[in-house]
Amino acid sequence: MPRPICATIDLAAFAHNLALARRCAGSARVLAVVKADAYGHGLLRVLPAAQRADGLAVLEIEAAVRAREAGFVGRIVLLEGCFDERDLEQAVHLDLTPVLHSAGQIDALARAAIERPIGVMLKLNSGMNRLGLRAAQFRTALAQVEHMAQVRDVILMSHFANADDQRGVAHQLAVFDAAISGSTQPVSLANSAALLRYPQTQRQWVRPGIMLYGATPFADQSAGELGLVPVMSLASRVIAVQTLAPGESVGYGASFTAARPMRIGVVACGYADGYPRHAPSGTPVMVAGQRTGTVGRVSMDMLCVDLTPVPAADVGAEVELWGRAVPVDEVATSSGTVGYELLCALAPRVPVRVRAAAEA
Ligand SMILES: *Cc1c(COP(=O)(O)O)cnc(C)c1O
């Protein structure tokens, strides 16, 4: 029998979240962000459901190659652009849309002898100060790119630093609109947070990521409140039960000590499976359909749970680490991180099962 841990990827949930993104997007087209191997879900696993997007956004050429080979015919954006000339050749060959975020990337494209023109996304740094041209260089760059024989079409883009928090998008939006004023090129601005909260950022192309996987981009609004459904669930089982006397402790560092007689379940899931090692005692977990909490330090292969609320639970009891009953965002908040990180960190050793949309 295989070790009982398993992740399930629910494609009906992905389809539901994509449909919700589309409703928020109005007439804008949707680029499904599937970087980081579809936020840990597996690019090829989610592709059957992501086919309904107008385009995909990835980082590595290899991911774009896999999506094309799997039959994706829509636009595929390379969010960090091409890293060298070979990438550019492949981008042309596969009809990819690289981001141009620096003068160096624009010059490389201008020098390239390419067999047919490609789409590009010209990126403005509107205040995040990660990738993108400064406003002062943007107009000249746009004029240059629009006239390049290598370029078929241009989408103007920027990325928000604060769409998920109180600061919002107003400042960056004003910088962007000033920098592009007079241009009629299509625009792409919105990540999930902007798409959900700021309709004025929709424009022609939106770029939702996290919401497609059913997790929230916000600290103050849950995925459930947003109408999103989790795509990944991580489940395992209790593989041992210990009965503690008052004063006895659990696991490495003896960080948890029982104050009263207590049954605890040992679950086959640890940080080498992608569960956060920083999850403190009390992090929510479902055992045999009942909500309880973790106890003690998460170790490489196991973690412990309090069986007090589920006295009937024994070896073999089903455990949901995250999924529909325990949102990944709750585990993340308890552990001082965000759902994004936990989803992306699902370990390769965890077997994954895909539930096709029709099975739902
Ligand atoms: C990751 C990313 C997105 C998607 O962000 P979410 O918060 O996951 O919706 C959009 N645009 C760019 C440039 C990104 O890097």
Q: Would the CB of 239 count as within 6 Å of ligand 1?
A: no
Of 91, 76, 29, 26, the closest CA to residue 54 belongs to 29
Token couple for 246: 């008052």
The pLDDT, as a whole number, for residue 200 is 94
> From CA 200, how far away is CA 324, in angstroms rounded?
31
Mean per-residue pLDDT of the chain: 97
Q: Tell me how far CA of residue 226 lies from CA of 43, 48, 268, in angstroms.
A: 24, 24, 32
pLDDT in tens, 332-358: 999 999 999 999 999 999 999 999 987
Q: To the nearest whole percent, how much of the chain has pLDDT over 70?
A: 99
Place of tokens 């939106």: 206
Is residue 85 within 8 Å of residue 108, measured between CB atoms?
Answer: yes
The pLDDT, as a whole number, for residue 335 is 98
For the annotated catalytic residues, the residue numbers are 35, 252
Q: Which atom of ligand 1 is nearest to the CA of 163?
A: 7
Quickly count: other Cβ atoms within 10 Å of residue 86's Cβ. Answer: 10
Binned at pLDDT 50, 70 and 90, residue 253 comes out as very high
Ligand 1 pocket check: which of 33, 35, 79 to mutate, most ligand atoms within 8 Å of Cβ? Answer: 33
Question: Sign of the C-alpha dihedral, residues 332, 337, 340, 342?
Answer: negative
Ligand 1 pocket check: which of 79, 212, 341 to mutate, most ligand atoms within 8 Å of Cβ? Answer: 79
Return the HEC string of 332-356: HHHCCCCHHHHHHCCCCCCCEEEEC
Gap from CA of 318 to ligand 1 centroid (Å): 34
pTM of the model: 0.97
Q: Would the CB of 79 count as within 6 Å of ligand 1?
A: yes
Q: What phi and psi values does residue 271 have, to the nearest 5 degrees?
A: -70, -20
Is residue 220 within 8 Å of residue 239, measured between CB atoms?
Answer: no
The pLDDT, as a whole number, for residue 359 is 56
Bridge partners, 153 (sequence order): 119
The pLDDT, as a whole number, for residue 47 is 98
Mean pLDDT of 162-175: 97
pLDDT in tens, 8-41: 999 999 999 999 999 999 999 999 999 999 999 9
Q: Would the CB of 207 count as within 6 Å of ligand 1?
A: yes
Mean pLDDT of 177-202: 97
Mean pLDDT of 261-270: 98
Four-point Cα dihedral 122, 128, 134, 140, nearest 10: 20
Question: Sign of the C-alpha dihedral, residues 13, 14, 18, 19?
Answer: negative
pLDDT in tens, 210-248: 999 999 999 999 999 999 999 999 999 999 999 999 999
pLDDT in tens, 84-117: 999 999 999 999 999 999 999 999 999 999 899 9
DSSP 245: P
The pLDDT, as a whole number, for residue 215 is 98
The pLDDT, as a whole number, for residue 303 is 98
> From CA 96, how far away is CA 246, in angstroms rounded?
62
Q: Is the pLDDT score of 360 beyond 60?
A: no
What are the helix and strand counts (H, E) for the chain? 11, 18
Report the first-to-last Cα separation within the chain, whole angstroms: 26
Q: Where are the beta strands (DSSP E) in 116-230?
A: 118-123, 151-157, 187-188, 205-206
> From CA 248, how far away is CA 21, in angstroms rounded?
50
DSSP 169: S
> From CA 67, how far away is CA 318, in angstroms rounded?
35
The pLDDT, as a whole number, for residue 357 is 85
Binned at pLDDT 50, 70 and 90, residue 147 comes out as very high
Place of tokens 């804008």: 28
Q: Which atom of ligand 1 is nearest to the CA of 208?
A: 9
Q: Would the CB of 132 count as within 6 Å of ligand 1?
A: no
